[in-house]
Structure 1
């Protein structure tokens, strides 16, 4: 049996404005506080990205539902933090993940940020998360899931692409991806849940 998968759409590029100070960015952010748009900032570059709509939200919510099912069954004491704003004037960065999670009690920042990518270009997301010291970042793009883990200390921090999550230990990323990419949401959840019970 061949499973139908979520279709990908043509990619849209964000608007970029260079040479802004943090103060100018915060002023523009207040003026452009509207639903359907997301603003990010890195090294004087303001990125304005229009949210792509239903396909993006479907993948984002399915990924979250599957991940939370796994975290619950695996015994994690986790807190979903959604697309909470992560920002620091000190390192000139503001970013909102599509999904984020604190994977143990007492965390200040999320341990995991997830990006569902339906656009191209823009600021370097991994560089933004590195400055915020987010331990692990997942990217779903064009039906593929890539996982990056933060390595090093202080000035030598960098992300390494890895094949299995170090923060969500034991999760079968191939199974997760297969279920994320299924067309029917209920079938995706059931398939994932049945595999977890085996």
Structure 2
């Protein structure tokens, strides 16, 4: 089952710049962060500035709720990074995902701020890209070493697992193997009408699986 978005759904406004060095990128990011709610993704000279709209933000927050329910009901630990900037100047890459989480590596980073020069990347990163992006985000997050990457475009959920430096699409989440893609689709379908009912029903379902 695939979710059918409203006609002409636009989830983000995007603006791209090319041939920017790292210093120029950081200057633009610093200037606009103070004045806007924009997100910044930089990949080897290309800067994409994204302004999330309602469709984007609602999907991102509902997927975050989906993950939170799983973590709590299964009894896992989690450090939520939200859209914390993931900078790797040595790779000329920087990203501000919709959601980032430490789960498997929670104990390594639970009590301090993250420094990606010494710490592992988040175990799970989520990106909602409803409007087309010119950046190859699979390659970007693979380069950052993110083990599991979820992408949602308003209809299709991709679960990507890092294998030998490249993402391989999976039917189930390596972090949450009890759920299939269809479970997220069903959750979102209910949540778009009644978020509380979706959470209550999903919690009960997870408890029954474990």
TM-score band by shorter chain is 0.7 to 0.9
Match of 1:189 in 2: 199
TM-score, with length taken from structure 2: 0.83
Distance 1:141 1:150, change over 3 A: same
1:150 to 156, 162, 178: 162
**Structure 1: unaligned runs, 5 residues or longer:** none
Equivalent residues in 2 for 1:31-70, closer than 5 Å: 31-33=31-33, 34-52=35-53, 54-70=54-70
Shift of 1:137: 0.4
Q: Distance in 2 between matches of 1:160 and 1:6?
A: 26
Give the match's secondary structure for 2:125.
strand
Given that 1:114 and 1:138 are in contact with CA atoms closer than 8 Å, whether structure 2 keeps it comes out as yes
Cα contact 2:12–2:52 (8 A) shared by 1: no
Counterpart Cα distance in 1 of 2:146 and 2:70: 21
- 1:6 positional shift: 6.3
1:83 to partner: Cα distance? 1.1
Instruction: Verify the 8 A CA contact 2:10 2:55 in the aligned structure 1.
Output: no
Distance 2:64 2:107 in 1: 19
Evaluate the alpha carbon distance shift between residue 119 and residue 22 of structure 1 in structure 2; reply closer, same or farther with a 3 A threshold: same
Match of 2:108 among 103, 106, 109: 106
Tell me the TM-score normalised to structure 1 length: 0.87
d(CA) in 2 for partners of 1:143, 1:192: 20
8 A contact 1:6–1:181 mirrored in 2: no
Partner of 1:29: 29
Given that 2:12 and 2:56 are in contact with CA atoms closer than 8 Å, whether structure 1 keeps it comes out as: no
> Does the CA-based 8 Å contact 1:14-1:122 persist in structure 2?
no
Q: CA RMSD in A?
A: 2.0
